[in-house]
Structures are given as C-alpha cells and as structure tokens.
A and B are shown apart, each in its own frame.
Chain A
Amino acid sequence: QVQLVESGGGVVQPGRSLRLSCAASGFTFSSYGMHWVRQAPGKGLEWVAVISYDGSNKYYADSVKGRFTISRDNSKNTLYLQMNSLRAEDTAVYYCAKSMRWLRAFDAFDIWGQGTMVTVSS
C-alpha cells in the first residue's frame, strides 16, 4: 500500500546537524512533489520545505532557510532533510508528506508518514 516511513530522528546538541530520511513505497515516487512538515510538542503544524517531483525546484519556510536542505533520490524512492545549525526551537516531530496530484509541488498532502522526533538539547 501507499506508505511513507521517516527515520533519522534523535537527540542532538544545539549547533549540530542531523539528516532525516523518508522512504516511499506503493506509488510512483518520481512523479510527485514531496514536503516536510513539523510539529513542536503540543503545538500546531508548521510547513518546512517542498521539493518538486524531479528535484529541480525547492522552497523553504523562512524559519529554516539557509540551515535546512531538502533533497530526493528518485532511484531510491527516498526523500531527505539535511538539518544544520540546529536550535532548540527546531525540536519537533518531523513528517514527510506527499503532494496529492501528479507532477504538482504545491498541493494538498494526501499521504503522511508516521513522523520522527527530533530533540535539540544540550
């Protein structure tokens, strides 16, 4: 079935780096835009970044621009989020999510992963 599975979360010190992965299955990964969304403990949803189906276009929330990099490997059906210069306020559950319609980057998110927790603390 259609599935997204995140991995790579954990506890990291402020200023350090972490890379999240999102493994996709059950659909043609290379035909859909993909997103990262985060949710701080007890808070609402915050969009983080999007990458187009072919990786040619990327957009970021102002809060992570210059520190986070979204990428994808369509040969491995995997989405990534490289997070550098981490701050306490980056502590959250990070979800990957799929754009609903074929070839669209900006769209509703019809499939979500289960999330991976990132804690930034000394």
Chain B
Amino acid sequence: EIVLTQSPATLSLSPGERATLSCGASQSVSSSYLAWYQQKPGLAPRLLIYDASSRATGIPDRFSGSGSGTDFTLTISRLEPEDFAVYYCQQYGSSLVTFGQGTKVEIK
C-alpha cells in the first residue's frame, strides 16, 4: 500500500496569498497517477487536478499541480474566499487506491 503524507496539516493564510500544499508518497506513484480534491463541510469532494498536473473541467487556473515520483505539490496562486477548505491528495496508480490525510486551508 502506498502511504500518502500531506503537509502541513493546517495552513493559515489570508485571501490573495499563495498556498503551497505538499503530498509525499511512501513509494513512487506509477505514471504520476495522482489527484487533488477539495472538500467543503457537508459536501462531497471535488476533483481539482488529475495525473499530477492536469486541471479538471471547470477548475480555475489559479489551481496548479506539479511533481512526480514521490513528491507532489498543489499550488493555489491567489486564494479566493471560496478556496478555504480541506484538500486531499490521492494516488490511483496501484490496485489499492489511497488518500492523504488532508490539509486544511483556513482563513488567517
């Protein structure tokens, strides 16, 4: 099983600031099959990024993903009020899909 470790657990930032979220894998993620999701309270997760760096349909270009192998990053270039939420990374390169434990982006 590939274990995904997200850091930091909580990120306190102001609107307009840049957010950088990290996701580390215990072993290399095959073909960069890594996704990022956003989840707000009481709602289902929403796909933001797939294949490490491709934006999903309808996702604003302030969201970007990068990385390969065991180190991946989600960057939000300028935080909008609606971006404060919990973010999860997920790998789907093995037959045991796994999620990271999440990073909460909160208003400072």
Contacts and interface: CB of A to CB of B under 8 A. Distances in A.
A9 interface: no
Contacts of A50: 97
Contact of B47 (A95, A110, A113, A115): A110
Contact of A107 (B39, B44, B92, B99): B92
Interface residues of B, number: 26
A35 B99 CA distance: 13
B96 A59 contact: yes
B8 interface: no
A47 B44 contact: no
A114 B44 contact: yes
A44 B102 contact: yes
Interface string B82-108: 000000101011111111111000000
Interface of A: 35, 44-47, 50, 59, 61-62, 95, 100, 106-110, 112-115
B50 interface: yes
Nearest to A99: B92
Contact of B95 (A59, A109, A112): A59
Contacts of B46: 112
B35 interface: yes
A109 B50 CA distance: 9
Dominant SS among interface residues on chain B: loop
Contacts of A107: 33, 50, 92
Contact of B44 (A35, A61, A115): A115
A83 B6 CA distance: 30
A112 B97 contact: no
Contact of B50 (A44, A47, A59, A108): A108
A38 to B, nearest CB: 11
Contacts of A62: 1, 96
10 smallest CB-CB distances across A and B, nearest first, come from A108-B50, A112-B44, A108-B35, A47-B97, A45-B99, A106-B92, A44-B102, A59-B95, A44-B101, A110-B47
Nearest to A110: B47
Given A44-B102, A95-B44, A110 B96 contact: no
Nearest to A35: B97
Nearest to A111: B47
